[in-house]
């Protein structure tokens, strides 16, 4: 029975992983299909008719684009360094009482077990992972918030990239390559995409804050029962 549960848990994580890359990839692909001029947008021609492999090609390209969007997001946060949303939220979590209590309890627990692991140099994420190991039943709930945060982040990145490039081509129409459509309707789309970036960032920050802080609240509650 335990092996069946383990299989379904692994399968569920696999599905979440695919969806996590497929959604941002399909989102940016749909936006590009609406905003890029037809001569720069390549349509597949495999099969006996143009529509034979469209769904399969769409899924594969969307999934791969999801990795590209994720890579762009990772690069952006690496460049931002201590100013990235990850560092800022983790710094806020580290100042909370639940974090201090959890760190103290975990440190005492490790000492009682004879461990010499020093938590003073551990990151918030490392201590969070230890705290989560004390309450494995909450993993799925925490993972859900992490997934929502990451999905919001990648969707925001896709929005700002297409919105910024589209607006850039609309303003500087002297650029030789007319890749993006530059009529009034599409300019409004680009502006809306840029605005959506900031709203999606707020959603991302909220869910990431919950995903990082909730394990310490659960751990503290379990220890003081």
DSSP string, 135-191: -GGGHHHHHHHHHHHHHHHHHHHHHHHHHHHHHHHHH-TTSS---B--SHHHHHHHH
> Where are the chain's structural domains?
2-223
Enter the pTM of the model: 0.86
Inform me whether the pLDDT recorded for 68 exceeds 90: yes
- Between residues 110 and 24, which one has the greater pLDDT? 24
Which residue's structure tokens are 């990850």? 86
Inform me whether the pLDDT recorded for 20 exceeds 70: yes
121-175 pLDDT per residue, tens: 888 998 998 888 887 778 888 888 999 999 999 999 999 999 999 999 999 877 7
- Among 205, 191, 204, residue whose Cα is nearest residue 160: 191
């Amino acid at each position: 029975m335990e092996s069946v549960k383990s299989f379904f848990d692994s399968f569920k994580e696999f599905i979440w992983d695919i969806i996590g890359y497929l959604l941002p990839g399909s989102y940016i692909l749909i936006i590009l299909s609406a905003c890029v001029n037809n001569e720069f947008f390549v349509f597949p021609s495999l099969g006996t008719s143009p529509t034979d492999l469209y769904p399969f090609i769409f899924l594969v390209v969307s999934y791969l684009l999801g990795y590209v969007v994720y890579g762009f997001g990772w690069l952006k946060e690496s460049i931002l360094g201590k100013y990235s949303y990850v560092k800022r939220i983790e710094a806020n979590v580290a100042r909370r009482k639940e974090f201090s209590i959890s760190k103290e309890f975990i440190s005492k627990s490790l000492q009682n077990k004879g461990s010499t692991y020093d938590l003073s140099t551990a990151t918030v994420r490392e201590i969070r992972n230890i705290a989560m190991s004390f309450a494995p039943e909450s993993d799925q709930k925490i993972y859900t918030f992490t997934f929502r945060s990451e999905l919001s982040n990648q969707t925001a990145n896709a929005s700002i990239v297409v919105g910024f490039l589209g607006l850039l081509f609309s303003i500087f129409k002297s650029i030789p390559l007319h890749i993006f459509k530059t009529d009034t309707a599409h300019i409004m789309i680009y502006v809306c995409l840029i605005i959506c970036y900031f709203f999606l960032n707020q959603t991302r920050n909220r869910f990431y804050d919950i995903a990082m802080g909730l394990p310490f609240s659960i751990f503290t509650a379990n220890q003081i029962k």
